Amino acid sequence: MTGTLGAGGAGVVYRAYDHQLRRTVALKVLRHAVGRDLYRFKREFRSLADIVHPNLVALHELYASSDEWFFAMEMVEGVSFIDWVRPSKEPLHGPRTRQDIISAPLDEDRLRKALPQLIDALVALHRVGKLHRDLKPSNVLVTPEGRVVLLDFGLVAGVAEDNHDGLAVGTPVYMSPEQAADQPLDTASDWYALGAMLYEALTGRRPFEGASEQVMRRKQTERPTPPEALMAGVAQDLALMAKSLLEPVPALRPDGLALLAQLGSAPSAATREIGRHRSRATFVGRARELDALRGAFRDSRRRGVSLFLHGPSGIGKSTLIDHFVKDLGEDAFILSGRCFERESVPFKMLDGVVDALTNALLAIDAEQLAAIISVDAPSLVRLFPVLRRVPPLAEVSGASTPANPQELRTRGFAALRHMLAKLSRVRQVVIVVDDVHWGDGDSSVFISELVSRPEPGILLLICHRPEDYLGIVAAIRRAAAPGVELRDVPLLPLDEQESRALVRELAPDDWFADNLLPAAGGNPLLLTELLRSADSAPSSVEALVAARAARVSADAQALLIVVSVAGRPISIEIATHAAAVLGGLDEANELYAERLISLRRVDGQLVLEPSHDYVRASVVLSLSPVAKAGWHEALALSYEAYEAADSQAVVEHWLAAGHPARAAQHAVSAAVAAETAMAFLRAVEMYQVAIEYGQWSGLELRDLVARRAHALMNAGQLDEAIDGYGRAARVVLDEQSIDLERRRVEQLLRRGRLVEALPAAEAVLAGVGLKMSLTRVQRSRLLPQWGGGNKARRLDFVQRDASMIPVLDLRRIDVLYSISSGLAFTDPSLGRAVQQELMRHALAAGEPVRVILALILEAGYQATTGTRAWPAVEQLAERIKQVATAIAEPHLLGIADCGLGVAAFLAGRWSQARMFLEAGIGTLRSYGNDVRWELDIAELYLLSSLLYLGQWREMARLQTLFVRDAGGRGDRASMGWLRSGRIANALVFQDKAAQAREELEVAESDTPRDAFVLAQVHNLIARCSLELQQGHADTAANLLDSSKAVLARAGATQVEVLRAELDILRARAELARPDRDERAARGFCDRLIKDTSPMAVAAGHALRGVLHASHDGASAAELELAERMFAEQAMEGWVHLCRLRRAQLQSGPLGLARVEAARDALRDLGAFSPDAIADWMLPMPRARR
């Protein structure tokens, strides 16, 4: 800031320099960001933020920082209206006195040139539905060139808007009689103020002098002394105009068009354009969408509803919402907010909603208002000071609030939710958040909470474009709890009938419809623009864009080309550099006024992009190939000139300019940046550009090919990554090739491609001097070693730094670890032998990181034998923690927690598994994709643990989050794992079995079939579960029986938890058969009871309890025993299933009450239909219920 320009009761205006825009601006700062002042301050900015007019001050951006609010606007160098038309003869050294003004001669020529401009500005303001309400000489500046600029919109309001403040606002000397009486206002009120200014310009005196109250009272009945009676020689036409404007009766005052006509003028081109753009909104069609909105409103009475209305720019989202809420009338409180492109304020998505909330609170009675205010209201007022407009909230605003920002936000949001919930009991509440694609992360926390836990009586409408620029919409959707319905209403293009109806409303001639409909493509905004421009010939989109572009300056046209060719949002600095335009803000505003570009601020930078895809396409289509290449080169050079520029953009523009070698120079840094942003597929593309077009040595090329393969792996493109590592290994043959082959083998094993993996693994082992046969024919020799030896092994070792150990020894350990870890989740019986070698070599070498990783794997292998292995696993866990803590490697502790969580799961310790896995995932999330494999495994086993624990709702919620996260990374492998196996059952609990079946089929199609690996075992379990759920018990039983031998050969039955799961599933299938063999069914139950797995034993008793369901007490006793056993294992789902079945065996009201209690408990756990889940998991003959 370089100086003070002025100050008023509410704010101070400073002169400041904007380094990004490279120009001086005026900065208006609010003195006290509270209540009514803050409300007006924000409205001042928003009233005209989107309007560009030469006689209205240009507003740049609204900011908020801590408790300070301010906005930047055009710096107008000029004098007040009166000082301009009655200039002083002598230099001024202070404020002018009234006598100075009276004695100064009127410059009638200046007045006649300035007056039409001021009238035109007011007409433009009125055409956007706004009143100024504080028109006075100091709010109108005139530049030395004679340009009139209307400013200070602090009291702007909508026509006939109730300001709820109960105060007459404005400046008494200039305000209209109706404004002084605090009556409803229309445009005539502003024309009265203009008359007062004109009267002062003609006479040097104000229409009424005296104390404010006296002036306001006299205006109600009196007319001022005629101007000609006070000043000789006053122009009669101007005097007559002043008198007509100062009529006490509003209806007798002339309007803006009449005034301009009297002065021999007409509305300017800018005002005419505003008039066309803001003319009566024409609404046609949209019956389906309106029905969806009305249905959502009806349903929200019983339960809160969240509806996402989405469609491209110009498709009519805001018009549809306006039409919908207008029809609601007094049936609802409408709390509407909009995310503005050119604002940097806290809680952007909620700001306008809370502003509207203050109006709703001021409209209800005191008793209702008192019930709405909660104990946390002070925190809410601290977050949103505008609430101090409401007197009871202003009273509590001084109460203490949490110092911790997170706690303050938590309590404030709780108070806001409470307030909205209570308000919805007075009248239904409709919350509209428009343009959410410009939203913010802080607001999304509250919106996500409202979406996740809908509040009865509240309809939340979220409107956005398909382009989720900041990921806000995706974040809100991800947060939705399982079972919560998110309604989607896509706004599609108008069909031909609807488009013709719109044309008939605006232009009755059929020629327009026949010629313009194809060009508009059903976009109502574009069709309207074509219609309004048809008188100047545009009959196509390209012609329309060209006509608009022709109306702006040459520099603005160059800027438009750059913004269009850029192909992405571009900062104003880079765009103006490429267009060779100095500054660029004026040119950007020209384009914005013609609706050719949009402007928004991102991370402090002003960013430009075409307002619509049709603009971009039309501009680019108009360029010749040579010209287009030239602009791409200009953009590439401009991006290169800025250190923090997007290197991927540089690559793309150099490629488009025909200079691939220069693109390759930036491709590596672009790939690294993409990897940092988790955009791995983009990184793959950039590495490919570098490989294909760059000049590299053999070693450099190998490094790039390997990095590309690593990016493919991180993207879950495992098959492609395998090929990439193989290619990298062949570029240069040396010791590094072995490491690349090791990575290839690791991915082959993780992918389950054992036929290729095992020979390759043997070759890599041989490369580091280890001879070990892993082919399938050796399994019989390896099986006797299963579970042997290592329980008694001492875990002591001599710790040594890696630099003290031969490189070959370290490489051997790495190879063994890759093979053992890969086999652990594909073929653990085969991996056991490799694990024994890994333990021997790792402990002998003593390098602590490798020892820890070996011990983590060992814990998992030990745990496969089940519950009896837990003491050994605990011993390993203690040793792992000791070593990891000693070397202070947090990420190793995270990997250890994940590994021990898997071990706990395999040992049947579900609660401990959840605890370990949640801790490990929490730690590893901050380490990104370097630990992606470990995170994938941990997420998979966490979901499985929640399944066994009966936490089905949480399982479904996390599965949705994990799948969306994997989708966001483009991680195909992770998405497959998270949708396959037993996790597919998450959808069954939500009554979405058909979707579960579809997802399982996708997972099965992506699972290699060259070996019976664990993924196929998990898919078999899921497939049989779904068959049971569909009532196909025979199919499930036959699938399990036919796979028995293969399962045994694969070693699946030697993993206790898998064996128990398979045996429970087989017993359930037998009991669910319509013509079941009672003896065989009992045999399956007895087998479970004799198992070593506590889960199997409990399930055996539960199934035996329903096998011969009776009222003699024996079945109930079995179920009660099973219930206790499941409770000991924290398996809540099975506990309540047993309670449900036991209650169904009990007659009378007590039995019915217990049935309902069990159903409610199952619903709380996430079972959408408790009885259907019980039929699936614990089948009992219906006749016995």
Cβ atoms within 10 Å, residue 1110: 11
Separation of alpha carbons 892 and 890, rounded Å = 5
Separation of alpha carbons 1183 and 1185, rounded Å = 6
Separation of alpha carbons 207 and 213, rounded Å = 15
Dihedral in degrees, nearest 10, Cα atoms 747, 753, 759, 764 = 0
Q: Which residues contact 409 (CB under 8 A, 6 or more apart)?
A: 383, 442, 445
Which helix (H) or strand (E) segment holds residue 458: the answer is: strand 458-464
Separation of alpha carbons 945 and 902, rounded Å = 9
Q: Which residues contact 1070 (CB under 8 A, 6 or more apart)?
A: 1033, 1037, 1076, 1077, 1080, 1081, 1084
- The answer to whether 1086 touches 1109, Cβ cutoff 8 Å, is no
Separation of alpha carbons 269 and 552, rounded Å = 12
Quote the radius of gyration of the chain (alpha carbons, Å): 37
- Crossing angle between the packed helical segments 932-949 and 910-924, to the nearest 10 degrees: 150
- Crossing angle between the packed helical segments 317-328 and 287-299, to the nearest 10 degrees: 50
The one catalytic residue among 37, 83, 120, 134? 134
Percent helix, strand, coil in the chain, to 5, is 65, 10, 30
CA neighbours within 13 Å on the CB side: how many for 70?
A: 18
Helix (H, G, I), strand (E, B) or coil at 1034: helix
| SS3 track for 691-756 | HHHCCCCHHHHHHHHHHHHHHHHHCCCHHHHHHHHHHHHHHCCCHHHHHHHHHHHHHHHHHCCHHH
- The answer to whether 549 touches 557, Cβ cutoff 8 Å, is yes
Query: Where would I find the H helices in 479-571?
Result: 496-506, 510-520, 524-533, 541-550, 554-566
For residue 698, what are its two tokens?
Answer: 């053999």
Give the burial string for 400-417 (b: 16+ CB within 10 Å, else e). Answer: ebbeeeeebbebbbbbbb
How many helices (H) does the chain have, and how many strands (E)?
58, 19
- List the 3-7 sheet strands across, edge first: 3-7, 11-18, 23-30, 68-74, 59-65, 343-344
299 counts as catalytic: no
Query: 137 to each of 141, 193, 834, how far by Cα in Å?
Result: 8, 10, 89
Query: 130 to each of 46, 158, 605, how far by Cα in Å?
Result: 11, 5, 30
For residue 167, what are its two tokens?
Answer: 């105060």
Query: 81 to each of 44, 169, 779, how far by Cα in Å?
Result: 21, 21, 97
DSSP 297-309: HHHTTTS-EEEEE
Nearest to 1055 by CA among 797, 758, 855, 829: 829
Separation of alpha carbons 220 and 1079, rounded Å = 101
Catalogue the active-site residues. Answer: 134
